[in-house]
Amino acid sequence: MNKKFIKKKLLISITFALLSSQVNANKFEGLADTPPMGWNSWNTFACDINEDLIKEMADVMVSSGMKEAGYEYINLDDCWHGKRDKNGFIQVDSKRFPSGMKALSDYVHSKGLKIGIYSDAGDKTCGGKPGSNGFEYQDALQYARWDIDYLKYDWCNTENLNAEGAYRTMRDALASSKRPVVLSMCEWGDNKPWLWGKDIGHLWRTTGDIIDCWDCEVDHGTWSSWGIMRILDMQDGLRKYAGPGHWNDPDMMEVGNSMTVNEDRAHFSIWAMLASPLIAGNDLRKMTDEAKAILTNKNIIALNQDKLGVQAFKYKVAGDIEYWFKPLADKSWAMMILNRGDKDKEITFDWKEEQVVDEYFPIEGKKYKTNFSNSRYQITDLWNKKQTETTHKALSVKVPRHDVIVYRLDKIVVANKH
Ligand code: GLA
């Protein structure tokens, strides 16, 4: 290799290092070290939103105990928009939001909550409202004037756009407005955002839209919406891309909408185990006690919010039964037994024959594994809130149809005998 060539290579590496350090500097860090938790208007209200509705949701988020359980964001989805003013600044729909977005934002903040907004990388949003294409910096500035904390950025009407470039532009625009904003990338997994999104946004949708059914596809012609089991299966292979600050997003939840209590419990547990954002999508004002109990189960939320930030993995499949494990920061494990099928099932799990190894994580050289024949764990059932057995004898339990059992496994330290 001659000197000139070495010099050239060095120059390229330095330029690249400088460019990539700039890239990292642009994303607001520390805003989503654990998966974001909140509420979003779309799943129940679609375009039919207004300021009173949003204020009521903020009120109920506090009075229901959801805020106390960790929910933080009140997110407006599509259709809050009016027109752009003569200088190009986006305005709210003044009929639906007569007090303006700043007043709404102040109200949400006065409740100790944060507020999110929605836009689209194309010329128009999915609901036909003005998109941000060509107005990214002005929109980011407007959101900052309104004290917005979270932006869901959609992907309708983007035929000639490059996804990575478009999301990067909005990230840079938000950075230049200086107000820390969580960037939720919503391009449905079409351009594999898990491969390039880590330095751009805090979460990225992995699938098309969710719908409140256990295992269905609803065909809308050019696109489909998907039930809980379909969305779960679409997460295969993605877990290694998620971690603190950058999460896979299997969409906002349908808990409390039309599914059975068992299905809602399973749906919520799956989202918790997948370290997915927990964004409720039901009418909080009308939720049943069962739906509230599911959404505010602090033991299940703790699995989701665990500092290690590692997604669960599918350990074993036996017919309709799936066994999932999630390593936790304090060296305990979460375990979920999912019954996808239409019949209740009695299962037996002989711990002594099982060795659980998390293949994707060595994180920083650490390997997460346990061999149940050497280590003993206390088993706590997180839905029935009781400590059952330890892992010294085989587990036998009935898992109802379309439901889960979720355990926390805490290692029992045997005292040294002297
Ligand atoms: C897309 C998104 C949904 C919702 C609608 C709004 O379909 O995936 O989550 O935001 O647009 O129009």
pLDDT at position 20: 40
- Residue 362 burial (CB count, 10 A): 10
Residue from 40, 132, 154 to probe ligand 1 pocket by mutation (most atoms less than 8 Å from CB)? 154
pTM of the model as a whole? 0.93
Backbone angles phi, psi at 33, to 5 degrees: -65, -25
Ligand 1 centroid vs 186 CA: distance in angstroms?
8
CATH number, domain 313-411: 2.60.40.1180
**Of 299, 349, 358, nearest to 321 (Cα)?**
349
Size of the chain, expressed as the number of residues it contains: 418
pLDDT at position 154: 99
Splitting the chain (418 residues) into consecutive groups of 10 residues, what average pLDDT does each group show?
Answer: 51 42 68 98 98 98 98 99 98 98 99 99 98 98 98 98 98 98 98 98 98 98 97 97 98 98 98 99 98 98 97 97 97 97 98 92 84 94 88 96 98 69
For ligand 1, say whether the CB of 120 is within 6 Å of any of its atoms: no
pLDDT at position 1: 45
Residue from 48, 76, 77 to probe ligand 1 pocket by mutation (most atoms less than 8 Å from CB)? 77
For residue 151, how far is the Cα from the chain centroid?
A: 14
pLDDT at position 387: 78
Three-state SS sequence of the chain: CCHHHHHHHHHHHHHHHHHHHHHHHHCCCCCCCCCCEEEECHHHHCCCCCHHHHHHHHHHHHHCCHHHHCCCEEECCCCCEEEECCCCCEEECCCCCCCCHHHHHHHHHHCCCEEEEEEECCCECCCCCECCCCCHHHHHHHHHHCCCCEEEEECCCCCCCCHHHHHHHHHHHHHHHCCCCEEEECCCCCCCHHHCCCCCCCEEECCCCECCCCCCEEECCCCEEECHHHHHHCCCCCHHHCECCEEEECCCCCCCCCCCHHHHHHHHHHHHHCCCCEEECCCHHHCCHHHHHHHCCHHHHHHHCCCCCCCCEEEEEECCEEEEEEECCCCCEEEEEEECCCCCEEEEECHHHCEEEEEEEEECCEEEEEECCCCCEEEEECCCCEEEEECCCCEEEEECCCEEEEEEEEECCCCCCC
Distances (CA, A) of 254 to 117, 196, 282: 20, 28, 6
Residues 6+ apart with CB under 8 A from 417: none
pLDDT at position 17: 42
Q: What's the one-letter identity of residue 311?
A: Q
For ligand 1, say whether the CB of 37 is within 6 Å of any of its atoms: no
CA 82 to CA 129: how far, in whole Å? 8
Start-to-end CA distance of the chain, whole Å, equals 66
CA 359 to CA 328: how far, in whole Å? 15
For ligand 1, say whether the CB of 322 is within 6 Å of any of its atoms: no
As given in the structure block, the two tokens for residue 161 are: 């756009």
For ligand 1, say whether the CB of 249 is within 6 Å of any of its atoms: no
Q: Which residues pair with 357 in a beta bridge?
A: 369
Which atom of ligand 1 is least distant from the CA of 155? 1
Query: What are the sequence ranges of the domains in the chain?
Result: 27-304, 313-411
As given in the structure block, the two tokens for residue 253 are: 């939840």
**Nearest Cα residue to atom 6 of ligand 1:** 78
For ligand 1, say whether the CB of 79 is within 6 Å of any of its atoms: no
Contact 314, 323 (CB under 8 A): yes
- Out of 3.30.70.270, 3.20.20.70, 3.10.420.10, 1.20.58.710, which CATH number does the structure's domain 27-304 have? 3.20.20.70
Ligand 1 centroid vs 255 CA: distance in angstroms?
18
Ligand 1 centroid vs 126 CA: distance in angstroms?
6
pLDDT at position 4: 56
pLDDT at position 383: 97
Residues 6+ apart with CB under 8 A from 226: 207, 208, 209, 210, 211, 216, 217, 218, 234
* Residues involved in catalysis: 154, 209
**Nearest Cα residue to atom 1 of ligand 1:** 126
